[in-house]
Amino acid sequence: MRTQVAIVGAGPSGLLLGQILHNHGIDNVVLERQTADHVLSRIRAGVLEQGSVDVLDAAGVGARMRDEALVHDGTQICVRGVRHRVDFRALTGKTVTVYGQTEITRDLMAARAAAGMKTVYEAQDVRLHDFDRAKPLVRYRKDGREAEIECDFIAGCDGFHGVSRKSAPPGAVRTYERVYPFGWLGVMSDTPPVSEELIYTRHENGFALCSMRSRTRSRYYLQVSLAESLEEWPDERFWHELKLRLDAKAQADLVTGPSIEKSIAPLRSFVAEPMRFGRLFLAGDAAHIVPPTGAKGLNLAVSDVFYLSSGLVEFYRDKSSSGLNRYSDRALARVWKAERFSWWMTIMLHPFPDASGFDEKVLLAELDYVFNSHAASTALAENYVGLPY
């Protein structure tokens, strides 16, 4: 098989890249290790920066998002039982959009199928070859048979555990990582959200987040020890503990119900540099992970795709490699700002098991500064709604 760009990974970053390239007449093939149903079963975040919304609209896959998404003008942070609102629109003139990553993936899959683009699901044992030369190769097994794709470029959009980053030459990748000593226990329920905006809560028992996917489906999180298991958290215990961490109004407004999904996710900050190796380019979680506190994971994947697709379009349209040569530096400049913001939000809102009394007082002072300083609240809002591309 021959194509111009081979894309490894059929998550939102791989599918979005394929959609944008197709719109510009650039042939591409997407390879995915899992089935399409498995890809759609992944529960992920759903808070989109304005820039992400604009990219999805420009790619021609934003119609359902515009009809069904929830637009938020701000967010709320609760400390010691008192809620404080950060007004994004007043501070920055921008908003965020709540639309689940699963729905974005569904929209991209539908667009890809409608256009007749090639996607290979259940592609096993994917191997990347010769990306330091003019004609890279991607080899894989499908239905027990060996197959090969010859291409001009490879886009590694296959996540943190994927093959793309691992295929880089030994010693060519430098990684930076911080692993946090707790995780998020997440519960999805078909219940109305407790608030029209997200509520971030800092409580002595641990962090809590009240989020949503729609007006009838809620997503809630609790900070828990990584030593705990899902079996230790039946629904009754989860709802009881969540109520303990909320303010009085949220406690009264909370509607509980059976969980339809439950999971524990560890928190990690991770960056791999560079994001280019010859004709192999990394995008999304293959190159970086952020703790979900700042809602940046999916948004960083979209900005990576924006930079990478711009470089590839320039290459084929203008016969120029300038955009591709600048891809890693441009993407990483934005990645590190998002890493900083996500780290800051995580440090500020989560009690750490080894924190001292001094640490606690400093973080409470930091929050007080955010709530009472126009400059500080503007800085939070600017980062949350998304820095410019």
> With 0-12 CB in 10 A as exposed, 13-18 as middle and 19+ as buried, what is 383?
buried
Q: Residue 277: helix, strand or coil by DSSP?
A: strand
Catalytic residue among 72, 203, 288, 350: 72
Q: What is the pLDDT of residues 134-173, one digit of tens each?
A: 999 999 999 999 999 999 999 999 999 999 999 999 899 9
Positions in the chain short of pLDDT 50: none
**One-letter amino acid identity for 325?**
N
Distance CA 263, CA 285 (A): 19
In a domain, 108, yes or no: yes
Closest by CA to 180, choosing from 48, 45, 293, is 293
Catalytic residue among 203, 288, 296, 350: 296
The pLDDT value recorded for residue 127 is 98
* One domain for residues 374 and 286: no
Closest by CA to 298, choosing from 13, 7, 17, is 13
* One domain for residues 329 and 232: no
Distance set, CA 71 to CA 39, 94, 286 (Å):
26, 10, 29
> With 0-12 CB in 10 A as exposed, 13-18 as middle and 19+ as buried, what is 227?
exposed
In a domain, 24, yes or no: yes
The pLDDT value recorded for residue 99 is 96
Catalytic residue among 200, 221, 307, 327: 200
Is 200 assigned a catalytic role?
yes
Catalytic residue among 99, 292, 307, 327: 292
> Residue 338 maps to which CATH number?
3.50.50.60
> Residue 380 maps to which CATH number?
3.30.9.10
Is 389 assigned a catalytic role?
no
The pLDDT value recorded for residue 46 is 86
* Region for residue 386 given its phi and psi (left: phi exceeds 0; alpha: psi -120 to 50; beta: otherwise): left
| Total number of domains constituting the chain | 2
Token readout for 154 is 């490879």
Is 292 assigned a catalytic role?
yes
In a domain, 217, yes or no: yes
Is 72 assigned a catalytic role?
yes
Is 384 assigned a catalytic role?
yes
In a domain, 86, yes or no: no
Average pLDDT, the chain: 97
Catalytic residue among 99, 140, 221, 384: 384
* One domain for residues 38 and 118: yes
Distance CA 161, CA 26 (A): 28
Distance CA 24, CA 265 (A): 37
> With 0-12 CB in 10 A as exposed, 13-18 as middle and 19+ as buried, what is 33?
buried
* One domain for residues 130 and 258: no
Distance CA 61, CA 112 (A): 10
Q: What is the pLDDT of residues 358-370, one digit of tens each?
A: 999 999 999 999 9
Q: How do the residues of the chain divide into helix, strand and coil, expressed in percent and rounded to 5?
A: 40, 30, 30
Q: Are 304 and 284 in contact (CB under 8 A)?
A: yes
The pLDDT value recorded for residue 44 is 74
| pTM for the model | 0.95
Domain of 38?
5-71+96-176+268-346
Q: Residue 185: helix, strand or coil by DSSP?
A: strand
* One domain for residues 111 and 171: yes
The pLDDT value recorded for residue 84 is 98
* Residue spans of beta strands (DSSP E) within 306-381: none
